[in-house]
Amino acid sequence: MHFINGNHIQLLRSGAEYFPALEHAIDHARHEVYLQSYIYEADKVGTLIGEAMIRAVSRGVSVYLLIDGFGSKTLPEAYIEHLRAAGIHVMIYRQKISPWTFKKNRLRRLHQKVALIDDITAFVGGINIIDDNNVPHQIAPRVDYAVRVQGALLPVIANSVKKLWQHLAWLHFHSKPLPKTSPNAPAHYTRGSIKAAFVTRDNILHRRDIEAAYLKAIHRAKHEIIIANAYFIPGRKFRKALINAAARGVKVKLLLQGRKEYFLMFATHAFYNIFLKNGIEIYEYRKSFMHSKVAVIDQEWATVGSSNIDPFSLFLAREANIFLKNKHFAATLHQDITAAINNGAYQIKANDWAKGHSAKRFLSWIAYGLVRVFLGIIGYADQH
């Protein structure tokens, strides 16, 4: 992981800030637009972004949309053809899906959410192309984060985005010519003062890069670790790193999803007892659905991205995170997470968890057992 200085990075809170910024960037594109998303829904947000991409094509901009076959399985074929007819290059990552197979190649998904505009602006985060209010039971808007990146890190992001498209285009025998950077593309970058790294996780050369970046920062923590993560089922190394940090006097806080969307999410509860016994604070966000994948350490190191801390993200999916070393950005994100804890979360107390919640504890071990079986089938059980 290489941190590069000279970046301007803005925190975007949920779709309310992200989608207008993304639409604005697409509307001002002059050469190329790349958009990668796990979920793309044809709701009002998907239609909004789709129309922006169509407007870009009408101006002569080349637009490349890459979506995941499983995450976007409900996207109507008619809508995809509508985008293609307008001139947008659309590819679907691993379109063949099957609920009856545990083959690794079927389970390796495109989970990263990255947009690249003219090689001068990028967006990285955990926000899919779906309305924040498109949540079960319409409780409140979904909580999530992304960042807008400008500066010296752009060539690294552009190289990653275009290499992935070219690789998939080759695998799909894509009839369209492979995208190349326009010779007239602007060569200047909006520079800033933030030091940052763009880190991806794939199944070839970068299998453990995101996990390694987390572990390195946790091992170096001196004062505080605060993690907000939607799907939190950490492996042995990660659990040990957090417990060791707490043992040396580091305040460790976990903000986790309090509303369970899937049964396997109960596996998170399997670690509550040992974390609480070791002084780690646990908060469950219950105001709405929390989709965040962010962290702040010592109020100077931070990350925003698509990677959950669970075996699906850390062992199987393509993910992308931005890691930053900047006190101002870290303080801003820290303040936002703290506000979520104070205004929408419930603290899990050690005594209460030990004395009550017997049903949750029982379900957690069933769910964790299923996760272990799943990992054993695909060959990763020894890492969890």
Report d(CA 108, CA 226) in Å as an integer.
28
> How far, in Å, are 162, 201, 267, 333 from residue 220 at the CA level?
34, 22, 28, 19
* Exposure of 165 in the CB half-sphere (CA atoms within 13 A): 28
245-248, long-range: CB within 8 Å, 24+ apart, which pairs?
A: 245/218, 245/219, 245/221, 246/278, 246/279, 246/280, 247/278, 247/279
| Cβ atoms within 10 Å of 143's Cβ, excluding its own | 24
Report the chain's terminal Cα–Cα distance, integer Å. 24
Cβ proximity of 208 and 290 under 8 Å: no
DSSP string, 154-167: HHHHHHHHHHHHHH
- Position 334 scores a pLDDT of 98
Q: Are strands 194-201 and 319-325 parallel, antiparallel or unpaired?
A: antiparallel
132 noted as active-site residue: no
- Position 185 scores a pLDDT of 41
Catalytic pick from 8, 31, 113, 384?
Answer: 113
Catalytic pick from 89, 195, 253, 293?
Answer: 293
The tokens describing 132, both together, are 């924040």
Catalytic pick from 119, 132, 298, 310?
Answer: 298
pLDDT tens profile 248-278: 999 999 999 887 666 556 677 778 888 999 9
357 noted as active-site residue: no
- Position 180 scores a pLDDT of 52
- Position 247 scores a pLDDT of 98
111 noted as active-site residue: yes
Cβ proximity of 1 and 209 under 8 Å: yes
Residues of the chain with pLDDT under 70: 97-107, 138, 173-189, 260-266, 356-362, 365, 367-384
285: left (phi over 0), alpha (psi -120 to 50) or beta: beta
Q: Which CATH architecture has domain 8-193?
A: 2-Layer Sandwich (3.30)
Catalytic pick from 195, 253, 291, 384?
Answer: 291
Which of these, 236, 274, 264, lies nearest to 384 by C-alpha position? Answer: 236
Give CA angle at 91 (105, 163), nearest 5°. Answer: 75
- Position 139 scores a pLDDT of 78
Domain positions in the chain = 8-193, 196-383
- Position 325 scores a pLDDT of 97
Residues 6+ apart with CB under 8 A from 24: none
Domain 196-383 class, CATH top level: alpha beta
260 noted as active-site residue: no
293 noted as active-site residue: yes
- Position 361 scores a pLDDT of 64
- Position 101 scores a pLDDT of 55
Do 8-193 and 196-383 agree at the fold level? yes
118 noted as active-site residue: yes
